[in-house]
Structure formats: C-alpha cells, structure tokens
Amino acid sequence: MHFDHFRAMTTEILFAAEGRPEHVRLGFREAKAVIRNGERRFTRFSPDSELMQLNRSAGEWWQVSSEMFDVLEDAKTYVAPTDGLFNPAVLPALVASGYDRSIELLPEDGSGPAGAASPIVPPDFAQLEMDPDGHRVRLPRGMQIDLGGIAKGWLATQAAECIAAYADSCAVSAGGDITVIGLPKDADGWSVGVEDPREPDQDLATLTVRSGSVATSSVAKRKWRQGGEQRHHIIDPRTGHPAQSPWLSVTVVAPSATEAEAFAKACLIGGPQLAPQLAGGRPGMAYLAIDRTGHLQGSLHGQEFTHVASLEN
C-alpha cells in the first residue's frame, strides 16, 4: 500500500493506493494537481478565485469552467431532496456570523467583527439558473455562495478517479471527505474511523466502506467566538444563524462524496426529527449521528439503529 499526504484547503489530504509504485506515484502527482487547482478555483478567501468572480457576477449570465459547472449542478441537485437544508447560498450569513476569513486567521477571543443586526436568511439555491450548452450560470441578484464542503467532496472524488487510472485500488481523504475505488488486497473494504467530536483523537465507530464515499459535518470543527457567543460554520438556512442541533456530528456514507457532504450537512441541521426521512430511505445511503453525550444514532438502508460499533456499506 502506497501513501501520500499534504495540506490543502486548510485541511489534511491523504492518498492511499495499491499498485505498481511507479504508476501509483504518477497517479498521486496528477491527483495532487487536481486538488491544488481546485483549491484555487473554489476558495472564497481570494477575490481572484473563480468562485468569487462568479459571486460578483450575480444577476448576470456568467461563463464558468466545467469543474465549477459540475459542482454547481451537483449542489443544485441536492437542494430539493434535503428540503432546502443543504443550501450553498449561505455565504452572507456565514460572513455575518464572523467567518469572514480563513479559519486559522479568526481571532479566538471573539474580537472579530460584530454580527449583522438581523439574521441573513439565504435565498433558495434552486433559483440558480444553469445553461449546460454554454456552460453559463446566473446567480439571482444578491445570491452569494460558499462551496467549501461540497467542493472538497467533489475534489476527493476527482482525485480518486485520477489515481484509480494508475492503481489497482485507492482511497482519497480530503479533510475526512473520503472516496474509495476498488477493494484493498486481502480486505473486504476500507476501514474508516468516525471521530468522537468531543475527543477528536478517539474514534467512536469504524465503518467498512467497499465503494462510494463518506463525509462528516460537525459543529465541533471550524468554530470561533463572536462577541460572547460561540459560533460554528454550519448555517441553518431557515434562520441564517449557526445551526442549533442536538447532534455534534453526522457522518454519511453515499454513492458520491458530494451527496454524502450535502446530506451530512442537511441531517446535522435537521437533527433527529428530519434526518431519518432525509437520509434513511435513500438508496446506498447510511448515516451515523453523534450527540453531546457520545450516543450514536443512525440508519443503514432504511433500518434505524441507536447504537453501533461497526457500520458497513
């Protein structure tokens, strides 16, 4: 088994693959270029990124790259099945909550800018217009989008497909958004530890993933203080505020990483009332939620469970 790792998108990227070393090395090199290019394209922290140019074009038709078009198309696909809980148009609300710069630059003492006087409820992302023939999109006037999570998942899958062209089997993790292709030799799947959001060095469950992707949304990561209040980056599109969920994290196993990302976020925001209907019966999908006491809850192929040590997909 061959490995490579590096940092990008302010998170840890890990490649693992089996195959001839000289071939795998080529695959890793291509995959790393995919991640680096995607990092530049999808960041909201550079005014020159394609994403921020698109945000400035709101109200007009705008030509985008095929990569941007793919991610936007995926994102739009998941709005209706998540009842709008997945909504990339939360950027103004995110900035108003204080997340206005790269996470490691946010002051931890709450000395950042004060929040908006009233919450900024995002517009419906499904209003985004797309022209597949011309590769053009039009954001409604006033819509500003953040593709952080879903772009990371999309890049994990792109990188995995790159490596798979050179390897017998591979897995790519982009900050815990994981895509696997093929099975490792002498194993019935890829082992994925699910972090305890209260103790990130510990795992609360182990998933055995044979195909597809895994993603986790957590309110325990990317958090900061604004004034006297604790904030995190999961915005509830219904209120424009950081989500108030009884769960600390939700992990979703799904056929694709973008789907896993979108549903992990939606389930975390929706909590125990909405998650079972959102993700419970969806083909190839399983979810695992962890609450503040470390209790596990979730479903696998429509079957509810309340305690799990091992979940297989």
Q: Note the residues at the interface with another protein (CB under 8 A).
A: 1-12, 14, 16, 21, 25, 28, 36, 39-40, 43, 45-46, 102, 104-105, 152, 171, 173-178, 184, 187, 190-195, 197, 200, 203, 206, 214-218, 220-222, 249, 251
Residue with tokens 């053009």: 136
Query: Length of the chain in residues, anyone?
Result: 313
In whole angstroms, how close is the CB of 118 to another protein at the nearest point? 28
In whole angstroms, how close is the CB of 129 to another protein at the nearest point? 28
Choice between 46 and 230, CB closer to another protein = 46
Tell which residue, 216, 224, 211, has the closest CA to residue 193.
216
In whole angstroms, how close is the CB of 189 to another protein at the nearest point? 10
Cα 128 from Cα 64, distance rounded (Å): 13
Choice between 143 and 248, CB closer to another protein = 248
In whole angstroms, how close is the CB of 283 to another protein at the nearest point? 21
Radius of gyration of the chain (CA): 19
In whole angstroms, how close is the CB of 60 to another protein at the nearest point? 26
CA distances from 202 to 13, 177, 186, 196, 215 (A): 19, 18, 26, 6, 17
User: Is 304 strand, coil or helix?
Assistant: strand
Choice between 158 and 217, CB closer to another protein = 217
Are the C-beta atoms of 167 and 17 separated by less than 8 Å? yes
Q: Provide φ and ψ at 98, rounded to 5°.
A: 110, -10
Choice between 9 and 72, CB closer to another protein = 9
The two tokens of residue 281 are: 């019966």
Choice between 217 and 256, CB closer to another protein = 217
Choice between 70 and 203, CB closer to another protein = 203
Residue with tokens 């006491």: 293
In whole angstroms, how close is the CB of 191 to another protein at the nearest point? 5
Instruction: Please work out, in degrees rounded to the nearest 5, the angle formed at the alpha carbon of residue 262 by the alpha carbons of 63 and 136.
Output: 10
Choice between 54 and 194, CB closer to another protein = 194
Q: What one-letter code names the amino acid at 38?
A: G
In whole angstroms, how close is the CB of 122 to another protein at the nearest point? 21
Secondary structure of 176-202 in the HEC alphabet?
CEEEEECCCCCCCCEEEEEEECCEEEE
Q: What one-letter code names the amino acid at 169?
A: S
Choice between 128 and 250, CB closer to another protein = 250
In whole angstroms, how close is the CB of 166 to another protein at the nearest point? 13
DSSP H helix total and E strand total for the chain: 6, 19
